[in-house]
A and B are shown apart, each in its own frame.
Chain A
């Protein structure tokens, strides 16, 4: 039996405080704050939650710690941790659990204080005797090597990579919650501090604190709640490797598997999508995902994003929040990727609102291009 298009909906969505939080704030403080805001968004109570889905680099047993903090006793829980895309898998797994009656109201939550405690403390790297001796600056160096291949095979340029960062910054300037507040040019991206060639600091995502929560329930129950439901039309998950030295082809991600799964379930195609929310850990990732999800042919991603094509007023609205590059990247960013897609479908995005946004795609990436998970969201007209 497969998952059913539109069987569940996101009914509540909220960020925690973002950016730089007060000293001694814990990741679970942020999860709980976001959870209460998401509950307020939909009008449900803590006691309604009977499914908890969470992962965090600083909290080894996230569903357990969050349930304790909130003093809820979920009958169903899932702590799948596959990096930044964990939360897309949580949505897929929550959909399965709700469809099968294992829970009715699912909470997906995340929190990180990586800016406050340092990235090294928040996400210590695993030792790998076949990689660690070479001292790659991870995860940046893995993505940089993928970029090196893309540049070599397809002629993608550093300027095209920089276009992704500039587009993200233009969107961020329309989002009051975005971390970055100043304009950015291609030249500034190229001349910024080199981190791992070909990436400068501006090709790399932010290192900030933050978290979020979304609440899902059955389509039937969603109709009686505060906001219009945002239906889960399709989900797809795929893993291809864990370490970059084991990735079969650095220019082809497992989004080539997760995307078609999600589109197939949703009975949709890329041209049907009004807005795209792609995990932009580095400037190469939206380029790879636009190709692998079918928005442009393989190898054309660099040329696709050129000339402001994914910036406000361009041909495809991508990462309207400002993305992990300019809005917020609290270590694992996948939950915030989905929150922006949900808000676009709801029509809550004010100056950055995509007109008549009925179908939004949220794509998560985890590890070093390792886990790829795609979720398609739709408004009431789509079911």
Chain B
């Protein structure tokens, strides 16, 4: 069991982020990925959790674009990592409305700032088009009053 007087699950995750890594846990009893990081595996309660570093490749599971006043539209997405866990993130370096379900993406660590510690974001995998038949968004969005 993690000694919470020494280090928290998020603290360990953050240490990896600072090294440019996306970390997750695996329960060695059943080999299943665990995310977000915890003190015990959900469901079984097993404390046989090992930290791993993800290869950082995943697929967009769900997506939205947030329109904050006086800001550029912002992507928010759920990403299914190849190792078998899901996380919230955003896909960058692309028009947020062009982020499609089924699109292959790769992690990079956003540096953060004084208020926000580093955190993982994603970019499209070079040369990978999105999953066939995944067009859930029209190419242009109607922005009215």
Question: Which residues of chain A have a CB within 8 Å of any CB of chain B?
Answer: 129-131, 133-137, 141, 144-146, 148-149, 151-152, 190-198, 200, 243-246, 250
Contacts and interface: CB of A to CB of B under 8 A. Distances in A.
Contact of A197 (B36, B64, B112): B64
Contacts of A133: 110, 112, 116, 119
- Category for how many chain B residues contact A: 35 or more
Given A135-B76, A141-B64, A196-B67, A148 B136 contact: yes
Contacts of A195: 66-67
Contacts of A135: 66, 68, 74, 76
B78 A192 contact: no
B67 A152 contact: no
Given A130-B87, A130-B88, A245-B86, A149 B67 contact: no
B76 A152 contact: no
Interface in B23-66: 36, 61-66
B125 interface: no
A196 B66 contact: yes
A350 to B, nearest CB: 34
- Closest 3 pairs between A and B when the two form their complex, measured CB to CB: A191-B144, A145-B62, A144-B64
Nearest to B65: A197
B88 A136 contact: yes
B90 interface: yes
Contacts, number: 101
Contacts of B87: 130, 245
B144 to A, nearest CB: 3
Contacts of B139: none
Contacts of B142: 190-191, 194
12 contacts: A130-B87, A135-B66, A135-B76, A145-B62, A148-B64, A148-B137, A152-B134, A192-B145, A194-B142, A194-B144, A196-B76, A197-B137
A244 B96 CA distance: 19
A243 B119 CA distance: 18
Interface string B4-18: 000000100010000
Contact of A196 (B36, B64, B117): B64
Contacts of A200: 144
A134 B89 contact: yes
Contacts of B77: 145
Given A137-B68, A191-B142, A198 B88 contact: no
B143 interface: yes
A197 B144 contact: no
A133 B13 CA distance: 14
B141 interface: yes
Contacts of B67: 193-197
Interface string B113-136: 000110100000000000000101
Given A134-B76, A197-B67, 6 more contacts: A130-B87, A136-B64, A148-B64, A152-B136, A194-B67, A198-B137
A295 B73 CA distance: 36
B5 to A, nearest CB: 19
B101 interface: yes
A129 to B, nearest CB: 5
A196 B69 CA distance: 12
A208 B68 CA distance: 21
A193 B137 CA distance: 17
Given A137-B66, A245-B86, A192 B144 contact: yes
Contact of B145 (A136, A149, A191, A197): A191
A230 B102 CA distance: 48
Contacts of A129: 10, 14, 117
B99 to A, nearest CB: 10
A301 to B, nearest CB: 16
A135 B136 CA distance: 22
A149 B36 contact: no
Contacts of A134: 76, 88-90, 119
